[in-house]
Amino acid sequence: MDNEKLYSLGLYEKALPPFLSWKEKMEFAQEAGFDFLEISIDETEEKLSRLDMDPAEISSMLALMQETGLPIRSLCLSGHRKYPIGSGDRETERRGMEIMGKALRFADRLGIRIIMLAGYDVYYELSDDSTRARFERNLRTCVEMAAKLSITLAFETMETLFMDSVAKAMFYVEKINSPYLQVYPDIGNIMNSAVAEKRDVLEDLIQSKGHIVALHLKESLPGKYRDMQYGQGHVDFPSAIATAWELGVRRFVTEFWYLGSETWREDVVSANRFMTAILDKGQKYVG
């Protein structure tokens, strides 16, 4: 990473075509100007199976990071959408906790420092008092497991009412009161929530002060949370980044998706240039 930069900018893995090898993903992300990759562990069995990498596969990944000079330092764990830890189904709950344990071991072996937790008590079930209570109980266990490995769990603000704002994420952060549970907001998601509820998105973001570890830079529109390029939505990225910068954030991730376009290379480079231009200006907020 450029020593003159005061921030690091990561690329969400799903912005790259799935047919690329890990080496190709790392090499291209670096060529495009990114400092690290954020790996995805979503609800598909293909992604969840990554948590069962054997020692040889882990060694290969570590060697690739060393060879390419591009590390994987954060993990987006959205697999709990299918296997939520607040589920009323005992097998689903058990699987969710198993996934958490495996994700922590996987992160520890790869040197990943932050696991982004999807802020869902449940997703495909009805949320109620029992799912929220179960979520909180299991969350405490998850944080204890993370503390043992000194890995930070950080809530992603989502698109459902359970945790669609920083304020709602902070409710659990303050209640658990552990250095290993923090907030990793998705600016696109909290923007939609703020517009819907006629709130100031920056005031919501400020509520993460002292507990925000990074910021997901994602575009959105009212009722639409993904699958668009920067500039096609309503997120004011300069204001969001300036606010996050004042809160002490120096780690950012561009979150967008490969949608089959033949111009995916240009799209990734363009995203880097778009955010880098804003972040470079953000450095003036230091001091």
pLDDT in tens, 51-90: 999 999 999 999 999 999 999 999 999 999 999 999 999 9
pLDDT of res. 233: 95
Q: Give the mean pLDDT of 240-267.
A: 96
Q: Give the mean pLDDT of 202-227.
A: 96
Q: Give the mean pLDDT of 181-210.
A: 97
Q: Please give the Cα distance from 14 to 5 (Å, whole number).
A: 25
pLDDT of res. 155: 98
Average pLDDT over the chain, rounded to an integer: 95
Q: Please give the Cα distance from 77 to 115 (Å, whole number).
A: 7
Distances in Å between the Cα of 39 and the Cα atoms of 21, 30, 74, 162 are: 13, 15, 7, 25
DSSP state of 157: P
Cβ atoms of 145 and 104 closer than 8 Å: yes
* pLDDT reading at 256 higher than 50: yes
pLDDT grade for 1, boundaries at 50, 70 and 90:
very low
pLDDT grade for 230, boundaries at 50, 70 and 90:
very high
**Under CATH, what is the fold of the domain 8-285?**
TIM Barrel (3.20.20)
Rounded percentage of the chain residues whose pLDDT exceeds 90 = 94
259-267, long-range: CB within 8 Å, 24+ apart, which pairs? 259/227, 264/15, 264/16, 264/17, 265/28, 265/32, 267/15, 267/229
Phi/psi class of residue 87: alpha, beta or left (left: φ > 0; alpha: ψ in -120 to 50)? beta
Distances in Å between the Cα of 263 and the Cα atoms of 21, 32, 266 are: 18, 13, 5
Q: Give the mean pLDDT of 149-153.
A: 98
pLDDT of res. 282: 66
Q: Please give the Cα distance from 19 to 189 (Å, whole number).
A: 28
